[in-house]
Amino acid sequence: MEPLLRVQALSKQFAVSVGRFGGTRPLHALDNVSFLINAGECLGLVGESGCGKSTLGRTILQLLSPTSGAVFFQGQDLSAGDKKTIRTLRRDVQVVFQDPFSSLNPRMRVRDIIAEPLTNQKLPRREIDERVQQVIQDVGLRADYLGRYPHAFSGGQRQRIGIARALVQRPKLLICDEAVSALDVSVQAQILNLLQEIRQEYELTILFISHNLSVVRHIADRVAVMYLGQVVEIGSNEQIFSDPQHPYTRSLISAVLEPTRNSKSKRIMLGGEIPSPLDPPPGCYFSTRCPIAIERCRTEQPAFNETEDQGGVRCHTPGEFKVDMKTSTSE
């Protein structure tokens, strides 16, 4: 069956000015990224800040043009789409942004904020009002909030308004770009539970972008891990969190604090800084920080080896960290 979204060998470079004489160098924001999302599932996209997660989301939305590669939505190549195709995409793919304080127009009432995406669809006002009334209830807010302005609400309530605005067009794919990272932990849990509920009610497919693995573990069916513009591992939620194959994935998992973790649990300590996307290292991009890197890792870039369950790993020695990786015991 055709996946709802397929990203194929997607790369994005930005020309960055260097030096005093007007020269430029390519910044490799995305490097040969491929994955798919099946209808009805939630794919979590994780990685450290600056790894390319948000750039990937904007490229999928066609807010950025890819340098190479393609994005297919329902089998249609969006990269080669005309204006009509892009308009359809805008309706079928919606986004919830990170900051609920800056993503809402402070001069508009909540009713108008939510209804705004429908203004170009030539719908009767009665239908627009019915949709707005329905989605405000579906996100757990009262109908009398529609006449108020954004400043009257808390961060969690504003994010619910942002979600309502995304839902009013009845999208098929919802991209959540760090949608809970600006919220308190207790409010994060409420928004995550809301996303689970509307996913079922609206039959949504979700791409959930986050740097927080604990949050992703709570909501995602499958997880894709990014490092320096590349997807280094994809797997089911259970496989990623119980049996990660890439050393970088394992290091991220080991850093997640768990109340049940005993004193003998080990945390992988990575040395060095993330290389600059202006000057990625030869071979495996992770080789400069990987405790089990071999000479081949430093000279030959590993291919992404796919598995039968729509997963895969980009590593010359997948899984070997279990025995050999240098670790330090957390007390």
Domain positions in the chain = 5-220, 242-331
Token pair, residue 188, equals 């994060």
pLDDT at residue number 266? 67
pTM confidence score = 0.91
- Examine the pLDDT at 307 and tell me if it is beyond 90: no
pLDDT at residue number 263? 45
Amino acid at 278: L
How many Å apart are CA 224 and CA 42, to the nearest integer?
Answer: 11
How many Å apart are CA 198 and CA 217, to the nearest integer?
Answer: 18
Query: Band of the pLDDT at 265, cuts 50, 70, 90?
Result: low
Please provide residue 12's backbone torsions phi and psi, each rounded to the nearest 5 degrees. Answer: -140, 125
- Examine the pLDDT at 35 and tell me if it is beyond 70: yes
Q: Tell me: domain 5-220, CATH 3.40.50.300, correct?
A: yes
pLDDT at residue number 23? 80
- Examine the pLDDT at 324 and tell me if it is beyond 70: no
Query: Band of the pLDDT at 327, cuts 50, 70, 90?
Result: very low
Check: CB of residue 278 under 8 Å from CB of residue 25. yes
Instruction: Tell which residue, 177, 123, 179, 127, has the closest CA to residue 155.
Output: 179
The model's pLDDT over 138-173, given as tens digits with 9 standing for 90+, comes to: 999 999 999 999 999 999 999 999 999 999 999 999
Place of tokens 């904007």: 58
Token pair, residue 323, equals 């025995």
- Examine the pLDDT at 81 and tell me if it is beyond 80: no
